[in-house]
Structure 1
Amino acid sequence: MEFGINFFPTVGPDDKPADQYFDEALRLAELAEELGYDHVKTVEHYFFEYGGYSPDPVTFLAAVAARTSRVKLVTGAVIPAFTHPVKLAGKLAMLDNISHGRLQVGFGRAFLPDEFDAFQLPMDESRPRFLDGLRACQKLWAEENVVWDSEFHSFGPVTLLPRPYQRPHPRILVAAAITPSSCEQAGRDGHGLLLVPSISKREKVQEMLTLYRKAYAEAGHPAGGDEVHLSYGCYLSEDPAEARTKGREYARRTNAVMVDAVAAWGTRRSEGYAGYESIVDKINKADFDKSLTENKTLVGSPEEVTERLRTIREWFGDVTISLQLISGNPTYEESARSARLFAEQVMPNFR
């Protein structure tokens, strides 16, 4: 198994100034390299305390690249619908070169109505725009004199500069939420997969992984390339009671800012997001103790978290785990402590 840190900010100016957030996040990224973590990842979101301090993953990961030499840099994920593919492919190719090939590119569809409204895009177009942008970036990276003519973009012939450091292009990962067909498509295309197990039942996650791995194998892609990243909230303490108390508090804060970000789903409907009209109700009904029992969050002492991970590995296989150590806005010291305890007392059990 591999392990990394996923920077999903849930803060705003009233909680923490942006410069302080980035100073602390970059210190944690350096600590991740020091402690032997495999990757650093961050999201793309706008406007809300739910992710809004990370509107451009490439900028943050370029700063991480300058402070590290080994750890992989993962976008989790960039949103191709919000950026022209020539611009997006170019930015990512720069980062791949700056980091000497440490980049993995996660692509996602986005799901917040306010973000689509700001970019003046209909949500019903999110899936075709996602596929169009991903495939255009892939072609721009891998080929020269590219001509692209689709429903959404038309350009060329152009040859992207700089060329990616990795040939033909960086590893591509696809973010999926609750739609099995998205996992199947990622497998057919030979991409990796980004999932958040906390939003689905264990059996649903297993179903999606089975579909993904089967499609990957049947398409004839190289063995071992069916890479799966799972993101989990994480809070560790030597004192199990303290871990549960603080973990519950930070989970509550994360849910509160998420409710604000998804509020527009109370009146919005989209064919591409079946069931999302109930998302606010689901978040409001979130039960931390149930999540803990169902191993949907990695909270507890190092020994308890080790046992949770053993169960997760039995369920899902040797996946890559991304720890959300900063969600809910714990102090830097708490996040650093969780990172150290996990690296020193949990990770060695799975290497």
Structure 2
Amino acid sequence: MSSMSSLRFGLHYLLSCAPGQDPQQRYRDTLEQAVRGEALGFESVWPVEHHFNRAISICPSPMLLLAAIAARTSRLRLGTAVIQLPLSHPLRVAEEAAMLDVMSGGRVELGLGRGSNPSHFAGLGVSLAESRERLEEGLTLLSRALTGEPFSFEGAYHRARDITLSPRPLQVPHPRIHLAANGQDTLELAGRRGLPVILAAHVNPLPRLREYVEVYARSRQAAGHPPPRAEDISLLMPIFVAETKAQVDELMAPSVAHYLKLVRTELVPVMERCTVEAERVKLSAMLERMSATRYQDFNGQMGIFDTPQACVEKLSRLKKELGVGRVIGWFNFGGVVPHAAVLRSMELFASEVMPAF
């Protein structure tokens, strides 16, 4: 197939750390998987930003993890999925992205999002009610800064006078900025600005993803941008393959159950403390969906846990229906699949699924 029509494959890391798991070992395993991923032909790696909850994630700084990965690799693109822009000063994010871009030889992909976890905002002293406005303003400021040209900026939350980013990024005009879009408002924002999007399958079943792609395409068109190309749509998705479906289920059923339990036990108290009504409603709806979800529901709708051949068929359908150009595989969804089994799944995926695209 031509490179225009081919799918690119990335690796996603939430880095949850269950009781009995060792944080140091989790980081080591992640670095080893990223290095192996590059050798196997994966194109990119995308860790998350998450705060104050070891059970869910021990990755408060995706850039730090990416710097360690950058030092051990030479081709792997280094993406964030995602940095919650309202929680940080946009100029600090721009500086770190530029520095990593220079150190890595121009490999940074900057995935940004609004964030909506009330405990993150409360813990870092940022108002959740301001998150939408902060995201919009932060995007403008960050994009200006990343060009490396001198500029001034006057916003509601940030001011800058005669600032020049140092170093300037290696990529020209700057590393590609992607927006995580899990709702109408962020899809429309991405469309208005002509930015590529990262969609998440594990919280949005296929019918909703179809709607999202339509909203995104309409918003791009309304703002005078060309229709989305494959490279404008990345899909983050739980994936696991093994020789037989029974082997897949044996490893993934407990890990998915662990994830669903985690979502319910860790997010219910967060939702109850949420003071922003619109966010509370959104969180509550997500929790309700997750509570009704079973392992079987994930397969094909919100993730792909299957044999390589079935995985090829399901990915082909997703590519056709959603127009995605990159699938960011979450190979340890739930976080309790043993490291050796994750590596085996990645190897099988690389040898039997990737060549089909």
Alignment TM class, shorter chain as reference: over 0.9
Match of 1:196 in 2: 200
The AA in structure 1 aligned to 2:81 is G
- TM-score, normalised on structure 1? 0.93
Aligned mate of 1:297, from 294, 303, 328 = 303
How far does the alpha carbon of each residue in 1:185-244 deviate from its partner, in whole angstroms, 9 at most, with x for none? 212212110111232242221121122234335523597475111111122211211202
Match of 1:23 in 2: 28
Match of 2:186 in 1: 182
Match of 2:17 in 1: 11
Q: Are the equivalent residues in 2 in contact too, given 1:80–1:130 (CA < 8 A)?
A: yes
Match of 1:64 in 2: 69
CA distance in 2, matches of 1:142, 1:222: 25
Any unmatched runs of 5+ in structure 2?
1-6
How far does the alpha carbon of each residue in 1:281-318 deviate from its partner, in whole angstroms, 9 at most, with x for none? 322221221222x4321101112212221222232124
Q: Could you tell me how far 1:344 is from its partner in structure 2?
A: 0.4
Give the alignment's Cα RMSD to 1 decimal. 1.9
The AA in structure 2 aligned to 1:312 is L
CA distance in 1, matches of 2:252, 2:8: 23
Q: 1:77 to 1:99 in 2, by over 3 A?
A: same
Q: Are the equivalent residues in 1 in contact too, given 2:179–2:197 (CA < 8 A)?
A: yes
Q: 1:95 to 1:143 in 2, by over 3 A?
A: closer
Give yes or no for the alignment of 1:153 onto 2:161.
no
Q: Could you tell me how far 1:39 is from its partner in structure 2?
A: 0.7
The AA in structure 2 aligned to 1:302 is P
Give yes or no for the alignment of 1:48 onto 2:48.
no
Match of 1:208 in 2: 212
* Of 153-162 and 192-201, the range deviating more from structure 2: 192-201
User: In the comparison of the two structures, how many residue pairs are matched?
Assistant: 347
CA distance in 2, matches of 1:309, 1:282: 24
Any unmatched runs of 5+ in structure 1?
none
Match of 1:339 in 2: 346
Match of 2:4 in 1: none
Match of 2:287 in 1: 280
The AA in structure 1 aligned to 2:343 is A
Aligned mate of 2:322, from 316, 328, 342 = 316
- Percent same amino acid among aligned pairs? 26
The AA in structure 2 aligned to 1:336 is L
Match of 1:257 in 2: 262
Q: Are the equivalent residues in 2 in contact too, given 1:234–1:299 (CA < 8 A)?
A: yes
Q: Are the equivalent residues in 2 in contact too, given 1:104–1:173 (CA < 8 A)?
A: yes
